[in-house]
Structure 1
Amino acid sequence: MPQAAASLSSCEQLNTTTMDSDNFNPPESWKRTTSVMMIRAEFKDKDIMKTECVARNTVKTTRSELEESNNEYEKVVERKKGKGFVEKLQKLVTEDPSKSSTKLAEELGVGNTTIQVCIKEDLRYNFYKRRKGQILIEKAQQNRLSKAQKLLNKLKHPVHNETLWFFSDEKNFTQDQKHNSQNNRWCVKNPHEVPIVGQTKFPAAVMVFGIISSNGDVMPPHFFPKGLRLNSEGYVALMKDVVAPWIKKVAAGRPYVFQQDSAPCHTSHKTQKWLAENLDDYTSPNIWPPNSPDCNPYQPDLMQHHGRVEGQDHQVLQEVSEGPGQVRLRQVVE
């Protein structure tokens, strides 16, 4: 026995030196096998813990299993997550991917950690959050495809090579600070030191309209009156008094296309008639795909500023008015 212990000790020193030099982290099965060998060689728990970098409870559990099995080495070192176990877990996950690891552990009679390790190492799966998306029936898919093809053709084959595109969008900004209780944490000793996120019953809000051009020009934000419900008359007045003069000033005689989404006040007969009579060109309802914010390069930047503004306590008009100067523009039409 002393000879075996000395031999094992020499091997451990050699392996430890090699592993330290390579920063190698051996699999748990190797550690378990080595722990059993060291227990049989009458090493103390403290020495096994130091050599294998394992917890005392792990060593005690291995020692107890070895005693209960009458020192049957093969039975103790046998991998707990055998092929049959992995197949059962795979079947359960396939039948119901929404089932939690805790529920899977209860059904299979193992620990939660065992399930998590098996899912990650054996099945090569991960738990992901479910995403939200637009419901698209077959008719809606065909409609979006048809409009997207028309829009792409309009972008790739303009009537004039120097055609400018003006992208527009509206956004509501509220004064109440937005926060995510799951992600937005506060690192302190006492939970009573965490500041309160103030909320009001009727938060102040402002609706903002903005435009950027394909060359990077940014129109100063237009603030709608408080409580205004934008309709066709109000939108046409906005186009006539604010948008059209700015667009024509920036275009300076060059041909241009004005983009707008499919909001009701944008697609009304009165609005469409005014746009056709007073602008060079615009995206009509039969060209712009519905529910497609990714088609508008202004949308991501507006949403980014919206997140910055609503993520802190602020004065709405002041913060929003400073936004256009901070917008990161990109060339969208080559």
Structure 2
Amino acid sequence: MGKEFKCSEANVRRIVKNDLNCYPYNLQKDHLLTEKIKASRLRQCKKLLRLAAAGRNRNVLFSDEKVFTIERVHNHQNDRQLLPKGKTPLVFVEKGVKIDKKYYQDNILKAVVDLWTRAHFGENPWTFQQYWPPAHGAKATMQLCERLFPATWGKDAYPSNSPDLNPLDYSV
């Protein structure tokens, strides 16, 4: 706008703010929730409530994948510690590595998650909740999870399109 009106960027900002009473607003992207998705989320949330009532969610290990850049933008949401029980070590995957079911099972579930949960939870009951890309939902992966972990929430127990339920987005 400054170039178009032949004035400085600072003047444009001042005019927009002081004279036009306009302020910058960052457009938030929201996931479209169709009636089908809403019904699915409600059904899955009710299942979570039943699990909670039965005491099945006292200790939950959440997993997630995240691509991030160190120190690029500071998110104040990350200043909070939501789960004081403990954190697993972060697993860094080299750029360009495809996380298929074999890689996920060998390098993440067996090499990190299984060892950490044995040391952290010991004999205490706990539940595993994972993010659901194809490698996580593969039949062989689910069989491994059933063998290694005492309880694993399936896709039907965790509401779809609910990133707000995963505390990992706020604690890394």
Where on the TM-score scale, by shorter chain, does this alignment land: which range?
Answer: 0.7 to 0.9
The one-character-per-residue Cα deviations of 1:199-253 (angstroms, maximum 9, x if unpaired) are xxxxxxxxxxxxx995521222122233211111111112012111110111111
Shift of 1:290: 2.0
Counterpart position of 1:132? 29
Shift of 1:127: 9.0
- Distance in 2 (alpha carbons) for counterparts of 1:175 and 1:130: 24
- Where 1:166 maps in the other structure, the secondary structure is strand
Structure 1 unpaired stretches of 5+: 1-111, 117-125, 180-211, 303-334
> Which amino acid in structure 1 is aligned with residue 130 of structure 2?
Q
- Distance in 2 (alpha carbons) for counterparts of 1:150 and 1:296: 16
Shift of 1:142: 0.7
Shift of 1:152: 2.6
Structure 2 unpaired stretches of 5+: 1-17, 75-80
Q: What is the TM-score normalised by the length of structure 1?
A: 0.39
Query: 1 or 2 for the larger relative contact order (CA 8 Å, sep ≥6)?
Result: 2
The one-character-per-residue Cα deviations of 1:243-279 (angstroms, maximum 9, x if unpaired) are 1111011111111101112222111211111111221
Counterpart position of 1:171? 66
Counterpart position of 1:98? none
Whether the 8 Å CA contact 1:219–1:246 is kept in 2: the answer is yes
Whether the 8 Å CA contact 1:167–1:213 is kept in 2: the answer is no
Aligned pairs, number = 149
- Mark the structure with the bigger radius of gyration: 1
The one-character-per-residue Cα deviations of 1:13-67 (angstroms, maximum 9, x if unpaired) are xxxxxxxxxxxxxxxxxxxxxxxxxxxxxxxxxxxxxxxxxxxxxxxxxxxxxxx
Counterpart position of 1:80? none
More strand by share: 1
Tell me: CA distance 1:165–1:127, structure 2 relative to 1, closer, same or farther (3 Å).
same
- Distance in 1 (alpha carbons) for counterparts of 2:24 and 2:62: 38
> Which amino acid in structure 2 is aligned with residue 289 of structure 1?
P
Counterpart position of 1:147? 44
Percent of aligned positions that are identical: 29
Counterpart position of 2:14? none
- Where 2:153 maps in the other structure, the secondary structure is coil
More helix by share: 1
Counterpart position of 1:264? 134
State yes or no: 1:290 paired with 2:132. Answer: no
Q: What is the TM-score normalised by the length of structure 2?
A: 0.72
Instruction: Give the CA RMSD over aligned residues.
Output: 3.1
- Where 2:85 maps in the other structure, the secondary structure is coil
State yes or no: 1:232 paired with 2:129. Answer: no
> Which amino acid in structure 1 is aligned with residue 155 of structure 2?
P
Match runs of 1:1-334 below 5 Å? 130-159=27-56, 163-174=58-69, 177=72, 215-237=84-106, 238-302=108-172
- Where 1:286 maps in the other structure, the secondary structure is helix
